[in-house]
Amino acid sequence: MSVASVFQPIAARPAPVRTQGLVPWMRANLFGDWRSSLTTVVVALAAIALLPGMVNWGIFHAVFRPDLGGCQTARGTGACWGVIAEKYRLIILGRYPFGEQWRPVLATLMLMGLLGVSCTRRFWKPWLAPLWAVVMAAYFVLMRGGLGGLTPVPTDLWGGLPLTIMLATLGIVLAFPIAVLVALGRRSGLPAIRSMCIVYVELVRGVPLISVLFMASFLFPLFMPMGKSPDVLLRVLVGITLFAAAYLAETVRGGLQAVPKGQVEAAATLGLTYWQTQRKIVLPQALAIVVPAVMNNFIAIFKDTSLVTIVSLYELTGSLGLALNSDADWRPYKLEGYFFIAAIYFAFCFAMSRYSLWIEKQVSVSRTR
Amino acid sequence: MATRPPPRRRDWSWRSQAFRGLVYQVLAAAVIGVALWFLASNTVDNMRARGIQSGFGFLVQPAGFDIGESLIPYDALDQNWKAFLVGVLNTLRVAFVGIVLATGLGTLLGIGRFSRNAIVRGLCYGYVELFRNIPVLLQLLVWYLFFTDILPPISEPFTLGGMIYLSKAGFSFPVPVWGLGQALAAAGAAVCLPIAWYYRRWAIRQFELTARVRSVFLVPVAIVFAGSILGWIAGGAPTAWNYPAPGAFSMEGGASATPEFLGVLLGLVLYTSAFIAEVVRAGIASVAHGQVEAAGSLGLARGQTMRLVILPQALRVIIPPITSQYLNLTKNSSLAVAIGYPDVVSIATTALNNTGRAVECITIIMLVYLTTSLSTAGFMNWYNNRSAIKER
């Protein structure tokens, strides 16, 4: 008999390496090879060296009460969050008359509620448009006053977070339709319209927002008929809108390019007109494709509103300067103030980017099979 | 069965698409034209009524203001155009240095998102989310505050071995004493640059012909380096350095970067690098995973896979969006006006306040940025065409 037929036991296989749990995760992700291990050790050492100091400065040695003396003794070793406790109304609401500050708070809460509702899928119904009209009207009545026994408050006293949110919201809402029209115009077959759209987009995208705001602030009064210059807030809003529209238009154009030509041809076969084709066939698909990019634009607009401080409008960044520069006692704690408003901006922008992920999932439904 | 007549070619009725198109275009052009005429005539009226002079004649009048830092000699008696030139150069300087640093940092961060080390991945992710979601203006202001408020005064600066100083006066570092040796070294490098270039081309052609691998990076670098060393020796091998030393009111000797410059630079670099990191990450993620596996089965190391397989393919995805980031960085440098770095916007607003020529000054700002934007875009498009994967 051949050797092969003799029973030869094979050694048992080794037990599988555990791949779940903390230790295997650390083995794979922290100590994969010598380089990875070295990095882990270096980062851990740096954290041990730096973190306690930062935590002590920010929390344990920090002064949280609006206590100037305490802040001065803690100078250098601990943060003075008391500056925020002391100045938060000025930082968040700017120069709005102190006794009337419930109005911007209420108006902004209303506007944010409206935004929240508009962002929820369940409420994407036809009644949303009239709701917008009503809330915007109420917003301006509350902010401006002069109606229903409210004291009038001129727009140059508006400031802080309400102004930031208002500029961003209106900038986005007004820029979007312009952007869609310009994007369609740039792809249109009519040469005159196409070239006008190209010139507009390239001109605006080639210059910084500041120069547009300077234009709104210095040149707009010259452009208007004598003695009829609109209010500076309105001028700046127009500037932001036109600027944002150019960027949005390019994003939308990207989406339009991604819609297969066959869709347009099929619509033409059905006998749809140009506007019907765009409205019912092309735009829904194009906009769904560019949702993430459009949300990026929205976030950019929100952040860009901080620039209006350069043309002397006191939105969040400006009102912080206003609140602290005028008070020599609290001026040394500007850094804490910056951290505070940075946290506000971060919260809004981060929420928007998370929302963008969610909505991306929602609109991709049409493309999932 | 009746056949339909073919459509008439020139149909000047509302049903003809060509005719309607023409009408729309004429209408649009008319609306724009009327709007522009309206604005222009208002402007002329307003300027006449307020007695504002117009024209670029003010550019040859004395500027009458000082500028904090300048790459070219300038003083307040110089003409306005020279002040603008100083501003443009300052803008270009911060934009150029910013672009170089932001590209480096952003690329590292983007690659770091794929690290096998969870801490590195997490730190890169946290960095990107943090710096992307805070307005760049706020970041500039914070860095400026850091440089002017938190750092120690010039009398007790942070120092590294008495060579590098960091204080409220800015960042000071040693520079060589410029002389003949340095000039000859630069000349030697310049002479050797084309030689290295030709060697590189020859080496690539040889590789394609004979498949013998020749160094296409180290040898050309060595050639240029040798050239500059030879020039340096020919110039007497000078080794003198100009070290900074803290004086009573300012740093003496060496070279310095002002707090304004550092504030703008740091703000722009940290902000833009977060965006570049995302661009790089998306580019790398776009390379099909099979490519990585194929590289692995060829036995390439991880570093080689990245350098030879992934990055060349990712670049074509990366370059167009990275171009817009460069343009954004350049345009964002206009925020320098908020912290008093004398860039072109800052100079133009000063000149505007001095002379009242609002239309002209804002036109100059816009022209400067349009020119830089269009030329950067042009260069990057050229590079994009060069590095795009040639298909069929």
- pLDDT tens for B182-216 read 888 888 889 889 999 999 899 888 888 888 877 77
Kindly list the distances between the CA atom of residue A235 and the CA atoms of A173, A292, B231, in Å, as whole numbers in the listed order: 16, 29, 60
Q: What is the DSSP letter of B79?
A: B
Per-residue model confidence as pLDDT tens digits over A231-246: 888 999 999 999 999 9
Residue A176 — very low, low, confident or very high, per pLDDT cuts 50/70/90?
Answer: very high
Copy the structure tokens of residue B70. 């300048």
pLDDT at A148 over 80: no
Q: What is the mean pLDDT of residues B324-337?
A: 91
| Residue labelled with tokens 């000071």 | B172
**Chain B residue numbers touching A304 (CB-CB < 8 A):** 135
Closest by Cβ to A214, choosing from B29, B134, B362 = B362
Q: Do A310 and B335 touch (CB under 8 A)?
A: yes
Please state, in angstroms and rounded to a whole number, the distance separating the CA atoms of residues A104 and A109: 8
Burial grade of B302 (CB within 10 A; 0-12, 13-18, 19 or more): middle
Q: What is the mean pLDDT of residues A31-36?
A: 82
User: Within 13 A of A177's CA, how many CA atoms are on the CB side?
Assistant: 3
Instruction: Assign A81 to helix, strand or coil.
Output: coil
Please state, in angstroms and rounded to a whole number, the distance separating the CA atoms of residues A65 and A82: 5
The pLDDT, as a whole number, for residue A249 is: 94
The pLDDT, as a whole number, for residue B275 is: 94
Secondary structure of B107-174 as H, E, C letters: HHHHHHCCCCCHHHHHHHHHHHHHHHCCCHHHHHHHHHHHHHHHCCCCCCCEEECCCEEEECCEEEEC
| Residue labelled with tokens 């964002």 | B332
Amino acid at A12: A
Dihedral sign computed on CA atoms, order B61, B66, B72, B77: positive
Q: What is the mean pLDDT of residues A299-319?
A: 90
The alpha-carbon gap from A189 to the nearest alpha carbon of chain B, in Å, equals 9
Nearest CA in chain B to A224: B42
The pLDDT, as a whole number, for residue B160 is: 79
| Percent with pLDDT over 90 in chain A | 32
The pLDDT, as a whole number, for residue B8 is: 55
Query: Cα-flanking dihedrals φ and ψ of residue A362, to 5°?
Result: -65, -50
Contact A253, A236 (CB under 8 A): no
Contact B112, B392 (CB under 8 A): no
DSSP A108-160: HHHHHHHHHHHTSGGG-STTHHHHHHHHHHHHHHHHH--STTPPP--GGG--H
A230 versus A48: the higher-pLDDT residue is A48
Of B378, B41, B112, whose CA–CA distance to A36 is shortest? B112
- Segment 122-141 of chain A within 8 Å of chain B by CB: none
Q: Do B331 and A222 touch (CB under 8 A)?
A: no
Q: What is the mean pLDDT of residues B268-289?
A: 92
pLDDT at B161 over 60: yes
Please state, in angstroms and rounded to a whole number, the distance separating the CA atoms of residues B37 and B44: 10
Look at strands B245-246 and B251-252 and give their pairing. antiparallel
CA B252 distance to own-chain centroid? 30
**Chain B residue numbers touching A350 (CB-CB < 8 A):** 129, 133
Look at strands B170-173 and B255-257 and give their pairing. antiparallel
Closest by Cβ to B117, choosing from A32, A207, A219 = A32
Kindly list the distances between the CA atom of residue A301 and the CA atoms of A1, A169, A246, B123, in Å, as whole numbers in the listed order: 86, 9, 12, 27
CA-only gyration radius of chain A, Å: 29
Tell me the β-bridge partners of B171.
B166, B257
| Residue labelled with tokens 């547009």 | A212
Residues in CB range of A138: below 8 A, 6 or more apart: A107, A110
Please state, in angstroms and rounded to a whole number, the distance separating the CA atoms of residues B284 and B311: 7
The pLDDT, as a whole number, for residue A366 is: 65
Kindly list the distances between the CA atom of residue B208 and the CA atoms of B202, B203, B211, in Å, as whole numbers in the listed order: 10, 9, 6
The pLDDT, as a whole number, for residue B272 is: 95
Q: Tell me which of A211, A274, A353 to substitute to probe the interface with B (most B C-beta atoms closer than 10 Å).
A: A211
**Chain B residue numbers touching A203 (CB-CB < 8 A):** 370
Question: CA end-to-end span of chain B, whole Å?
Answer: 50
Question: Looking at A54-63, A344-353, B59-68, which range is the least confident one?
Answer: B59-68
By the CB < 8 Å criterion, does B149 face chain A?
A: yes
The pLDDT, as a whole number, for residue B2 is: 58
The pLDDT, as a whole number, for residue B388 is: 67
Please state, in angstroms and rounded to a whole number, the distance separating the CA atoms of residues A29 and A21: 12
Question: Looking at A35-49, A273-287, B247-261, B377-391, which range is the least confident one?
Answer: B377-391
By the CB < 8 Å criterion, does B282 face chain A?
A: no
| Claim: this prediction has a pTM higher than 0.90 | no
Tell me the β-bridge partners of B245.
B252
Residue A343 — very low, low, confident or very high, per pLDDT cuts 50/70/90?
Answer: very high
Question: Looking at A267-276, A294-303, B4-13, which range is the least confident one?
Answer: B4-13
The pLDDT, as a whole number, for residue B269 is: 96
Please state, in angstroms and rounded to a whole number, the distance separating the CA atoms of residues A331 and B41: 47
Q: How many CB pairs under 8 A join A and B?
A: 151
pLDDT at B6 over 70: no
Kindly list the distances between the CA atom of residue B128 and the CA atoms of A31, A240, B137, in Å, as whole numbers in the listed order: 24, 26, 17
- Segment 40-69 of chain B within 8 Å of chain A by CB: 42-43, 45-47, 49
pLDDT at B247 over 80: no
Residues in CB range of A263: below 8 A, 6 or more apart: A281, A282, A285
Kindly list the distances between the CA atom of residue A297 and the CA atoms of A73, A291, B348, in Å, as whole numbers in the listed order: 44, 10, 29
Please state, in angstroms and rounded to a whole number, the distance separating the CA atoms of residues B34 and B26: 12
Residues in CB range of B129: below 8 A, 6 or more apart: A350, A353
Q: Do B149 and A332 touch (CB under 8 A)?
A: yes
Q: Do A303 and B358 touch (CB under 8 A)?
A: no
pLDDT at A67 over 60: yes
Dihedral sign computed on CA atoms, order A157, A161, A164, A167: negative
Closest by Cβ to A196, choosing from B32, B45, B365 = B32
In this structure, what is the dihedral angle of CA atoms B373, B378, B383, B386, given to the nearest 10 degrees? 160
pLDDT at A158 over 60: yes
